[in-house]
Amino acid sequence: MDSFWTKSVTLPSFPAMKHDIRADVLIIGGGLTGLLCAYQLQRAGLDVVVVEANTIGSGVTGRTTAKITTQHGACYHIVAKRYGMHVARQYYEANREALEAYNAIEGDLDLKTCDGVLFSRTHREVLEIERNVLCAIGAKVEWTDAAELPFSVAGALRIPHQVQVHPLKLLNAVIPTLKIYEHTRVREIRGNIVTTDNGTTVTAESIIVATHFPFLNRHGAYFLKLYQHRAYALAVANTPPLERMYWEEKDNGLTFRQCGDHLLVVGGGHRTGKPGLGWKAAEQVVRHYYPDARITARFATQDCMSLDGIPYIGRYAKHSPQLYVATGFNGWGMTSSMTAALLLTGELIGKPKPWTSVFAPDRTIWHRQLATNVGETLKTMVTPTVPRCPHLGCALKWNAAERSWDCPCHGSRFSENGKLRNGPATGDLKKG
């Protein structure tokens, strides 16, 4: 289950931290979010250090399909209904600015500008509502066909000038001047001093937690505000090439994008720790619609999902003024990672973005998803089975498709022999 991207690109390695250091900003997490934050902050003139518990790009970044777009599913009519048209417009502006920032990065990213297409196989009326909101907030969108797809659709919207990249080539483009320490896990944060498992310390004026799922439980209640979601991707050869990127408007819908001579097909998502089809959903699509195709790779990713469909980017909690966070990207991590980098850079240099408040982590938590998260946590914590997740003690569920122990509460995952695969847990399962 290796990443599709690692077959063509190798990332450089970095040493573990061996001595105490000082910096303007410490970033915890060496995935795309952390490295883009470091890149933008360094360009703004700050002294930045990145620490990564494993190796850079080894988490979700290496398993993305790398679509960068202003359109995150049929999201804008939902945002407008919850928060008003003004917030929907600001959310769009944030995503648009993030997309433009990718275009400004120099280097070989395999960056391609192409149209994005939001489609529905059954509910054209959802697209009509979405289009009305998009037009009202000034976004470019128009009806189109989806003739490239091998099945008929009820409707499709074209969003021009979107971007796709090779995520590991992107990392190679932004890291040459960064100070990075791998195999350096954070053990404790006290004020502005961070202690690592190596026994070294970092003293920083500001600290950004970019660990996908925040690992500090005492602040911010992220264990209530987030859950995690699995998505399954196939790399397929011998298919007709697609000129545009496609994603379905419904939850857990299909997505398609071309990468060289391969088609990437995603489907079959489910809440981590709950039953799901795994790769079977995408396999069924490939076998039915592309009978001559050959599956050359399969990989899965894990997405943090917020309560309201908007990421949490900003101060970690009210009583931790030096701490910042970026999480809850809802399956659109490529765009939102850059949004986080731009927003947090603006905050730390005293030039906040006009859309900063849209992403504030302390906004209201009173959404229907909160009750689902709480109910799932309570149910699983009282389930009298082992093994238990070391994060908050929830009962783990066996994932036969990926041969892993998964936590339905917060999404931690462990290998068959108990090795940590995904946080927020910070260590392996205890033996015995």
- In whole angstroms, how large is the CA radius of gyration of the chain? 21
Look up residue 27 and give its two tokens: 């970033």
- In the numeric block, the tokens 């500008």 are attached to 113
**So where are the chain's domains?**
5-64+168-224+309-359, 227-303, 368-422
Beta bridge partners of 18: none
Helices (H), 216-264: 222-225
Do 5-64+168-224+309-359 and 227-303 show the same overall fold? no
Q: pTM for the whole thing?
A: 0.95
Residues 6+ apart with CB under 8 A from 19: 200
Query: Is the CB of residue 158 less than 8 Å from the CB of residue 142?
Result: yes
> For the domain 5-64+168-224+309-359, what is the CATH superfamily, name and number?
FAD/NAD(P)-binding domain (3.50.50.60)
349 to 21, 95, 204, 272, 422: CA distances (angstroms): 21, 21, 15, 37, 32
Architecture of the structural domain at 368-422: 3-layer Sandwich (2.102)
Fold of 227-303: Alpha-Beta Plaits (3.30.70)
Tell me whether strands 404-406 and 420-422 are parallel, antiparallel or unpaired: unpaired
Quick one: which of 248, 256, 23 has its CA closest to 148?
256
pLDDT tens for the chain, residues 1 to 432: 567 898 889 899 999 999 999 999 999 999 999 999 999 999 999 999 999 999 999 888 988 999 999 999 999 999 999 999 999 999 999 999 999 999 999 999 999 999 999 999 999 999 999 999 999 999 999 999 999 999 999 999 999 999 999 999 999 999 999 999 999 999 999 999 999 998 999 999 999 999 999 999 888 999 999 999 999 999 999 999 999 999 999 888 999 999 999 999 999 889 998 988 889 999 999 999 999 999 999 999 999 999 999 999 999 998 899 999 999 999 999 999 999 999 999 999 999 999 999 999 999 999 999 999 998 888 887 788 778 998 988 999 999 888 999 999 999 999 988 899 898 988 899 875
Q: What is the torsion angle, in degrees rounded to the nearest 10, for the CA atoms of residue 109, residue 110, residue 111 and residue 117? A: -140
Quick one: which of 373, 298, 371 has its CA closest to 328?
373
